[in-house]
């Protein structure tokens, strides 16, 4: 008995591995199906051997079969298929597998569908080429437009963060406005306004590669970097204007012209100034001193002013346009002493090139010159321009030129004077022929941005507005988020409308806290001339003793009574008669002047009249007059 109990206590509970059991069941079903299939094949072969001697009808005979008197292969396969379907164990196979493999044809392509551009059929290639030719201007997202009111003066700087969630605008009114597409509604109100550089015109705004910081370039000599919410992070140092060598100073000494973030190094940015230098800065150095100083040189080796600067998209090239019409490019991987690429005759000498922009593929450079031209340059052959577009009027030193996200078009704006319509031109990159244009009524187009992620276009105009263009079918997020939101209603208006208020000043919010016994306190305050701010009483006249008159107690009543009682003055319109009416009394009873002269000068002596010749002498110049 004890032995049996020990044996029972030593037994363990049985465990089940369901995954292993499932694999075994599946393998057994596969083996069983394979065995059935082999049995059916053997059965078909034996039946074929048994019936091989039997005659077949003439309709079923074929000259190509080896055994003319045996059954056809299709009949045997059909029997095998029927037997398989009857003896199939397990879930049914998918329809595509049950029917058998298909042969790859043009209609049935194995694998994921190919993109339209990689289609194997010739007809699809021809159709895609036709569509590309037809839809070059249709790729512009300009079906819808919204207007953001920045101010009354020109919008001279724009910036969109890399994610496309926020827009920053700055203008000639010295104010920077922050716009959040996700937080705005149809009222299109900015959520923050700052004045970062006092009373200096804003020339350029740009987000860093990560979107965490914003570079602010204004008309002063100190660039600023702020965070996404507009709070200052650093301000560049100011240089010493009395030092001749600009590399020995900590920063710029004259007005800034432009700036740009490094697209690969998030801590580095660049600025150019009227002091003839291009300086590289590091955010981690807190703006105490520049990182590198580049000094462009003229053909005679003298200092020249850079008007625009930019980085290439891979961060290798540093380009600057100068006032002598030249474009000079340095290699960021080498020292900035020698120029890597340079062309002296890019634009007219003495004009300010407003913008430089590299293409997305990094092979082409666009320059917007002050001589009303737009030129495209090949970095590999920098001697001659690829294409030139003339008669593009520009009155602003910050007019933009940019490339489209697909690198097939170039955008720039035109300026007008008081009357006329500005235009945003879309030009083909290969020939600079105008593909399309957007007209802005009675305003110049100063700045433009085409965001590649949102596929939306933003332009800054001289009338103080920023226009945003988008297409619901081609664009994403951005302005489409705020246009579907209705303007918010004020909570205070809803609270007041919910209840009827008859006496608003009886509400607790309007009541003033007063002590219990205020009558005596108010009397004391009224008697105190300092606390009651009582004016001083007149010493003499109708207001003596604190009363303006016998009947009137206020100033308004006294003025009204005096106007009514006043008699008309006949000398009001004749000041000469008003003075001469006292002449007789003054002659008979002199009071002011005559009593003083009676003792010293009893006989009056008047000034003699001067000769006309002496009066003419006054017209002579001072150096001809005789000195006394």
What is the rounded average pLDDT for all residues in the chain? Answer: 80
Name the residue with tokens 């716009």. 179
Range 215-227 average pLDDT: 95
Instruction: State residue 326's pLDDT score.
Output: 94
Instruction: State residue 561's pLDDT score.
Output: 78
Helix (H, G, I), strand (E, B) or coil at 215: strand
Residue 18 has pLDDT above 60, yes or no: yes
Range 554-577 average pLDDT: 81
Instruction: State residue 151's pLDDT score.
Output: 92
Percent of the chain with pLDDT over 70: 72
Cβ within 8 Å of residue 620, ≥6 positions away: none
Instruction: State residue 553's pLDDT score.
Output: 59
Across 385-389, 510-514, 590-594, 596-600, least confident range: 510-514
Residue 610 vs residues 18, 607, 621, 628: alpha-carbon distances, Å? 137, 9, 19, 18
Question: pLDDT confidence of 239, banded at 50, 70, 90?
Answer: very high
Q: What are phi and psi of 205, to 5 degrees?
A: -130, 140
pLDDT tens for 28-56 read 888 887 766 666 656 555 555 544 444 44
Closest alpha carbon to 207 in 246, 175, 238, 168 = 168
Range 599-623 average pLDDT: 70
Instruction: State residue 121's pLDDT score.
Output: 44
Closest alpha carbon to 140 in 362, 470, 443, 442 = 470
- Distance, in Å, from the CA atom of 357 to the CA atom of 309, rounded to the nearest integer, reads 9
| C-alpha atoms less than 13 angstroms from C-alpha of 228 in its C-beta half-sphere | 12
DSSP 8-state class, residue 103? P
Question: pLDDT confidence of 67, banded at 50, 70, 90?
Answer: very low
Both tokens of 232, joined, read 């200052």
Q: Are 224 and 235 in contact (CB under 8 A)?
A: yes
Largest pairwise CA distance in the chain = 180
Cβ within 8 Å of residue 164, ≥6 positions away: 181, 451, 453, 454, 456, 476, 477, 478
Range 570-584 average pLDDT: 87
pLDDT tens for 337-360 read 899 999 999 999 999 999 999 999
pLDDT tens for 369-419 read 999 999 999 999 999 999 999 999 999 999 999 999 999 999 999 999 888
Instruction: State residue 216's pLDDT score.
Output: 96
- Distance, in Å, from the CA atom of 72 to the CA atom of 75, rounded to the nearest integer, reads 5
Query: What sign has the CA pseudo-torsion 518, 520, 522, 524?
Result: negative
Residue 622 has pLDDT above 80, yes or no: no
Instruction: State residue 72's pLDDT score.
Output: 46
pLDDT tens for 413-438 read 999 988 889 999 999 999 999 999 99
For the domain 153-482, what is the CATH superfamily, name and number?
A: YVTN repeat-like/Quinoprotein amine dehydrogenase (2.130.10.10)
Range 280-301 average pLDDT: 92
Instruction: State residue 418's pLDDT score.
Output: 80
Q: Kindly tell me the burial class for residue 427, based on how many C-beta atoms sit within 10 Å of its own C-beta (0-12, 13-18, 19 or more).
A: buried
pLDDT tens for 92-110 read 554 444 444 444 444 444 4
Q: How is the chain split into domains, by residue range?
A: 153-482
């Amino acid at each position: 008995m004890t032995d049996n109990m020990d044996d029972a206590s030593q037994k363990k509970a049985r465990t089940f591995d369901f995954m292993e059991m499932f694999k075994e069941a599946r393998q057994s079903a596969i083996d069983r199906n394979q065995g059935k299939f082999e049995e059916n094949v053997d059965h078909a072969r034996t039946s074929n051997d048994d019936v091989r001697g039997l005659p077949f009808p003439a309709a079923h005979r074929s000259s190509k079969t080896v055994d003319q008197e045996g059954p056809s292969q299709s009949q045997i396969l059909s029997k095998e298929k029927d037997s398989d379907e009857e003896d199939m164990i397990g879930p049914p196979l998918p329809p595509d597998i049950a029917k058998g493999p298909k042969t790859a044809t043009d209609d049935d392509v194995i694998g994921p569908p190919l993109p339209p551009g990689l289609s194997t059929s010739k007809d699809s290639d021809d159709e895609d080429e036709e569509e590309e030719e037809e839809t070059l201007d249709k790729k512009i997202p300009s079906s819808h437009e919204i207007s953001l009111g920045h101010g009354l003066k020109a919008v001279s700087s724009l910036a969109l963060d890399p994610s496309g969630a926020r827009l920053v605008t700055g203008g000639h009114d010295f104010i920077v406005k922050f716009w959040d597409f996700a937080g705005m509604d149809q009222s299109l109100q900015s959520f923050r306004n700052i004045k970062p550089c006092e009373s200096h015109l804003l020339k350029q705004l740009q987000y860093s590669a990560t979107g965490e910081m914003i570079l602010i370039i204004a008309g002063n000599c100190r660039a600023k970097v702020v965070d996404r919410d507009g709070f200052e992070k650093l301000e560049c140092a100011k240089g010493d204007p009395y030092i001749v060598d600009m590399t020995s100073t900590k920063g710029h000494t004259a007005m800034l012209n432009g700036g740009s973030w490094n697209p690969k190094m998030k801590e580095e940015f660049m600025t150019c100034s009227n002091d003839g230098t291009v300086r590289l800065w590091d955010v981690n150095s807190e703006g105490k001193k520049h990182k590198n100083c580049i000094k462009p040189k003229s053909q005679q080796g003298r200092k020249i002013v850079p008007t625009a600067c930019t980085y290439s998209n891979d961060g290798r090239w540093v380009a600057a346009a100068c006032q002598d019409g030249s474009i000079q490019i340095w290699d960021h991987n080498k020292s900035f002493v020698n120029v890597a690429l340079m062309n002296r005759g890019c634009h007219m000498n003495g004009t300010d090139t407003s913008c430089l922009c590299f293409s997305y593929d990094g092979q082409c450079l666009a320059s917007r010159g002050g001589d009303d031209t737009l030129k495209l340059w090949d970095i590999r052959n920098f001697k001659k321009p690829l294409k030139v577009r003339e008669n593009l009027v520009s009155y602003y030193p910050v007019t933009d030129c940019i490339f489209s996200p697909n690198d097939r078009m170039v955008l720039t704006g035109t300026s007008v004077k008081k009357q006329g319509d500005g235009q945003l031109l879309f030009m083909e990159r290969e020939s600079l022929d105008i593909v399309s244009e957007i007209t802005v009524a009675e305003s110049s187009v100063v700045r433009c941005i085409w965001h590649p992620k949102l596929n939306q276009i933003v332009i800054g105009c001289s009338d103080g507005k920023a226009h945003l263009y988008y297409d619901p079918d081609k664009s994403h997020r951005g302005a489409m988020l705020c246009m579907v939101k209705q303007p918010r209603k004020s909570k205070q208006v809803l609270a007041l409308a919910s209840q009827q208020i008859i006496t608003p000043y009886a509400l607790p919010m309007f009541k003033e806290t007063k002590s219990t016994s205020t009558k005596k306190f108010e009397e004391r305050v009224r008697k105190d001339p300092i606390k009651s701010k009582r004016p001083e009483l007149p010493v003499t006249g109708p207001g003596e003793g604190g009363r303006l008159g016998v009947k009137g107690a206020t100033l308004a009543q006294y003025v009204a009574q005096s106007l009514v009682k006043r008699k008309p003055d006949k000398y009001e319109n004749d000041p000469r008669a008003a003075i001469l009416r006292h002449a007789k009394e003054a002659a008979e009873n002199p009071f002011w002047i005559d009593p003083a002269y009676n003792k010293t000068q009893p006989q009056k002596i008047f000034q003699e009249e001067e000769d006309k010749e002496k009066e003419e002498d006054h017209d002579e110049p001072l150096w001809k007059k005789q000195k006394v």
